[in-house]
Structure 1
Amino acid sequence: MPDTRAARREVWITGIGLVSSLGEGLEAHWEALTNGQAPITDATTFAPYVVHPLVKVSFDSQIPKKGDQRQMEPWQRIGTYAAGLALEAAGIAKNTEILSKTDMIVAAGGGERDFAVDAAILNDLSTSNDPGRMLNERLLSDLRPTLSLAQLSNLLAGNISIVHGVTGSSRTFMGEESAGVEAVRIAHARIASNQSEIGLVGGAYNAEREDTLLLNDLDDFCLKGEFRPVFSKPEPGIAAGSMGAFLVLESPEHAKARGATPIAKLSGVWSERARRQVEGALGDKVRALLATVGADGANAIISCATGARDATTPEAEALAATGRPVRAVSNRLGHGFEAQFIAGLALGALCVSKGALYPALAGDPLETAGAGVSRVVVTSVGHWRGEGAGVVEKI
């Protein structure tokens, strides 16, 4: 078999859509990151849990039909909104000819629950003399017919297709942080290997959900009380963040043909999974990833560290050993699970496009001063499984 690696093309990032607690769009994020803006957190609404709430946005600007908005759950609205920002930034919004050929890969979680109904059923179960029968009756009578549809993870891709007209191939990946890594890896590989010319890839997360906060707290993952930097000691736990992050990836040939200006180059994405039940395996896997992507040749590392116990310390030790300045996405945006790695790539592309690294967060031992930036490594260590990395470079 011939070696086809020499034929692999570059992959450019030509559009980024990012919305989080810090704002919407790249310039709003850069201003917030560089002007000393403290992390925006809410420690009271869902006390004792700490979350990074979504900035107030006008969904009408990207999802003009109220009927479309009503049938979406919050995470779908956030994702559809961010996807629209990415398409606008790339200059292909409403361009039906290009959008009809734009491939889409989405990293998504499960749909949101009607937790008012869930809570009522659970309360009644505790006092029922016939819980099985009561449960069946309540599930048939209380759950709205659309709830089952709303649980479908691929509805985010469907809504993006309906609202923005992205009608190329469509794929949806599930699997928390690993889903985000895999989504970008596949999108990158398809363009690099000449299987695709342009793609939209991203994810979204709604952190302001009582059900997922409870779910994560049952495994002792959540940050409680007040905000602490992600690499502080002891491991603080996860401060979830509402966010939507989408990238438009494109071959240089396609971008040049339509006169697009690239933001950065995505040089590669790697996905791994350590056997975490083996002592020391996670740290070894992260160090191997850093060696593979050439972290020693990078100006900085943007970490998607979660803050989760037993996951964050091995990553911190591996990152510290590189001697590179580190920035943690969670320190500014919170943790967005499926969307986190894409948000990290977005911040990495923003840094290389500006040629600078935004200031360190006071109190985080790994965030140190940085200088000029032309090559950034983005790392991802899932809160309980999955590791990955990507490289973003200046063009």
Structure 2
Amino acid sequence: MKRVCITGVGLISSLGVGRQAHLPLGPARRDEDNFAPFPIHPLPALGMESVIPRREYRQMENFQRLGTYAAGLAIADADAGALVAGMDLVVAAGGGERDWGLDEAIQAELLAIPAEGREAWLHQKLADGLRPTLFLAQLPNLLAGSISIVHHVAGSSRTLMGEEGAGAEALRVAAARIAAGTSEMVLVGGGVIAERWDVMLAFGAALHHGPWCPTAERDGLVMGSQAGFMVLESEDHARARQARILAVLRDVRVDAGAEEGRAACFAALAPASGGLSVAPMRAMMVPGAEMLADAIGSGFEASFPVGVALAALRVEAGAPPIAVHGFGHGYGEFSALVEPCP
């Protein structure tokens, strides 16, 4: 089995972009007003339109823009721009964003349409009013496509959808391919935008209501916009091109078991106690672990890649091995060990 190395990181959250914004983690940036009663960790102004070609930028929704931006940062950080033609891609993302203006227009007019003609009318309204990507449904494939178009990543592509577990499984798949020798270089990660009312409505029962408070004091999650992408390489491949190795990624584990088995599963799953945790609620906290959600919130599909990316930056900066623990807000638990390269 080949050693899996992290050679590039693209990390974006409410704290900002890259190493300087996340080493160390600064004071949390929160918004408790615009989506009340749900507090969130919103993105600062990023100027993504300056790094994504205008033609592509206009066709993307915000989660595509954020993920594409973070993916580009990871490629640049790995100094791998000349290698994208052979770079494989594994992406985790949600199902896209709603067009609220069109939703409201349809709701205002729908009841005036005779019942027998509503289905055809609705279909035509959606076809005329939505961009093709929205009409076809914004699956993670669209984020992968945006990354391929903007950054010319031309290897194989795999996409996953399914909240926190999708991000963890994307990382497991990418690392397994490197370790098995079926891929030499993989770009992997995910992104999510929290500033969306459709997300609040879809996940309202799982969200914390009321003023922000630390993870240890709440039973619901607080969302945060974030994206984390990494370039993974086999050690042989990285050394052959004289790449800087940030960290070694080892023992990525994913358990999609039910919540009632969480304690027993995690006791066997976790490589170490303490470390960095991307648990969204206090019921999932690991003793001694630093709660990443306190600083940047929970990012569904992006949560675990962001946690591992942050661990890689810390290890590069001189930290000892870091165990990254993750949980799904409904089910699933994940772990990985990020170590210095010997």
Per the TM superposition, whether the score is higher than 0.5 is yes
In 1, distance between residues paired with 2:136 and 2:119? Answer: 20
Query: Identity percentage over the alignment?
Result: 42
In structure 1, what residue type is equivalent to 2:48? Answer: F
Q: Distance in 2 between matches of 1:118 and 1:38?
A: 37
SS at match of 1:345: helix
Evaluate the alpha carbon distance shift between residue 132 and residue 274 of structure 1 in structure 2; reply closer, same or farther with a 3 A threshold. farther
In 2, the alpha carbon distance for the partners of 1:141 and 1:239 equals: 35
- Summarize the alignment of residues 1-395 of structure 1 with structure 2, pairs less than 5 Å apart: 8-31=1-24, 33=25, 37-63=26-52, 65-93=53-81, 95=82, 98-122=83-107, 124=109, 128=112, 130-131=114-115, 133-134=117-118, 136-142=120-126, 143-146=129-132, 147-149=134-136, 151-217=138-204, 220-232=205-217, 234-235=218-219, 237-276=220-259, 280-290=260-270, 293=271, 295-296=272-273, 300-307=274-281, 312-313=282-283, 315-316=284-285, 319-320=286-287, 325-355=288-318, 373-395=319-341
Task: Give me the whole-angstrom Cα distance separating, in 1, the residues matched to 2:228 and 2:194.
Answer: 14
Quickly say closer, same or farther: Cα 1:121–1:354, change in 2 above 3 A. same
Deviation at residue 48 of structure 1 after TM alignment: 1.4
Q: Is the 8 A contact 1:177 1:341 kept in 2?
A: yes
Query: Which amino acid in the other structure matches residue 65 of structure 2?
Result: R
Equivalent pair of 1:121/1:135 in contact (CA under 8 Å): no
Check the 8 A contact 1:72/1:150 in 2, yes or no: no
**Deviation larger for 79-88 or 108-117:** 108-117
Aligned length: 338
Query: How far does the alpha carbon of each residue in 1:126-185 deviate from its partner, in whole angstroms, 9 at most, with x for none?
Result: x55845633541341253242224523201111111100110111001111111111010
Gaps of 5+ in 1: 1-7, 356-372
Distance 2:311 2:131 in 1: 42
Separation of aligned partners in 2, 1:55 and 1:11: 33
TM-score under structure 1 normalisation?
A: 0.81
> How far does residue 275 in structure 1 lie from its aligned partner after superposition?
2.5
Q: What is the RMSD computed on CA atoms of the aligned residues?
A: 1.8
Measure the CA separation in 2 of the matches of 1:54 and 1:258: 35
Check the 8 A contact 2:91/2:140 in 1, yes or no.
Answer: no
Q: Secondary structure at the match of 2:60?
A: coil
TM-score (norm 2): 0.94
Q: Deviations over 1:184-232 (max 9, x none)?
A: 1010011111111111000010111111111111xx1112222111122
Shift of 1:101: 0.9
Q: Which has the higher contact order (CA 8 A, sep 6+)?
A: 2
Amino acid at match of 1:267: R
In the alignment, structure 2 segments of 5+ residues that lack a partner are: none
Cα distance in 2 for partners of 1:72, 1:132 equals: 35
